[in-house]
Amino acid sequence: MTYRVCFVCTGNICRSPIAESVFRARVESEGLDGLVEVDSAGTGDWHEGEQADPRAQSVLEEHGYALDHTARRFESSWFARLDLVVALDSGHLKALRRLAPTEKDAAKVRLLRSYDPAAVGDLDVPDPYYGGRDGFEECLEMVEEASAGLLASVREDVEGQVA
């Protein structure tokens, strides 16, 4: 049985594609790529059909991550097939929980940085879109830091499904 994770930000061209790429690489390096499916989406359709922001692509490439991405909008119906929906900030968390058809679906939504034990206070990954390249580097760093905890949690869930 495949465990499905979807990362969600605003337009699906900056934060969520970065998170998708980083987490997919972690899943593959742990040999879980046959068991865990990773993708991303946005809460809105502003960039639907577009590739990731060139700055996101560049930062990912420089750090050795692959990205083949087309932006799309998250749909309420997806909750039925997803095991975990990972929001990049508290605004996305609220929007996704409102969109969830059931309380069980709403419980599938978690903030990415909630998986980073070193993160305290504000758990949002700031939107780098309106800033410079350094914001994309900061986003990547936050995503990488949270990915270890997220991977441990997903591994536990996957092993629970297999058992």
Residue of 4, 45, 97, 127 marked active site:
127
- 24 catalytic? Reply is no
Q: Does residue 39 have an active-site annotation?
A: no
Distance, in Å, from the CA atom of 4 to the CA atom of 119, rounded to the nearest integer, reads 25
pLDDT tens for each residue of 97-110: 999 999 999 999 99
Give 3-162's CATH code, choosing from 3.40.50.2300, 3.20.20.150, 2.40.160.20, 3.40.50.1580.
3.40.50.2300
Q: Which pLDDT tens digit goes with each residue over 133-148? A: 999 999 999 999 999 9
Q: Going by C-beta distance under 8 Å and a sequence separation of 6 or more, which residues neighbour residue 100?
A: 76, 79, 106, 108, 109
- Look at residue 159 in the predicted model and tell me its pLDDT: 87
Q: Is 113 a catalytic residue?
A: no
Q: What's the whole-model pTM score? A: 0.97
Delimit the domains of the chain by residue range: 3-162
Q: Is the dihedral of CA 71, 145, 159, 31 positive or negative?
A: positive
What confidence category does residue 163 fall into, taking pLDDT thresholds of 50, 70 and 90? low
- Catalytic residue of the set 6, 14, 15, 113: 15
